[in-house]
Structure 1
Amino acid sequence: MDKDYVMRIAGTIREQLVSMTDTAILMSWGIHEFMATVYKDLPGLKFCVNGRLFQGYVLICLNGSDYYEVYLQNEEGTSCISDEVCFDELGEIIDSHIESGTDKEEYARFCEQLISFH
């Protein structure tokens, strides 16, 4: 796959993720190591996270249907969390798997405990 194409796709994914996701949410993921990647012959963006629910890599790949496929990868393996994600859904889907979970009240209590602890 053409390196310039992969780099452009990775840059677009990063720009969409950062512009469509609240900064506080992005910060809660402990993101580092953004890199362009190819996974399953799909161009994408890979980055390391240190979330409350998941620690490892997030891979966001553009598929042939103009949707994103989102994978979580760590020492236990790689799992697809969704294979039809629109650009404006990336932050919410990733956050629910690596940081906040699906129980918003439980996560709010967790955050309150963290604030009162500090």
Structure 2
Amino acid sequence: MMKKEYVMQVVETIRELLVALVPTNVLISWGLKGFIATVFENMPALKFYVSGRMYTGFVIIALNGSNHYAVYLQNDTGTECVHDEVCFDELGELLDCHIS
């Protein structure tokens, strides 16, 4: 089992990256609601709900190694991995392409 402190630290880092690197108007356009700290596929992850033009459901960003993230979209139809090795500076653009 993963230590809660480690999961919380990773999730806070992911949240800070999103807020710092994605323009506020883009985050608002996603209809982003709530941040949840979780463990997904045995990786510490940030989960949040979006209601965008192209996608509505949960987004899961999981730390997949020291500097890479796996990004999943999860809704009533299932869970889809949209990228399994994305760098932190590419997260915003990747997400916006799937959500907006």
Query: TM-score of the superposition, structure 1-length normalised?
Result: 0.82
Higher helix share: 1
Q: Number of paired residues?
A: 99
Code of the aligned partner of 1:36 = A
Deviations 1:32-89 (A, max 9, x none): 1101011000001000000001000000000125300000000100000001111111
What 5-or-longer segments of structure 1 have no aligned partner? 100-118
What 5-or-longer segments of structure 2 have no aligned partner? none
Q: Distance in 2 between matches of 1:24 and 1:33?
A: 17
Poorly superposed stretches of 4+, deviation over 4 Å: none
Q: Distance in 2 between matches of 1:35 and 1:29?
A: 16
Partner of 2:11: 10
Query: TM-score of the superposition, structure 2-length normalised?
Result: 0.96
In our comparison, the structure showing a higher alpha carbon Rg is 1
Report the aligned-residue RMSD.
0.8
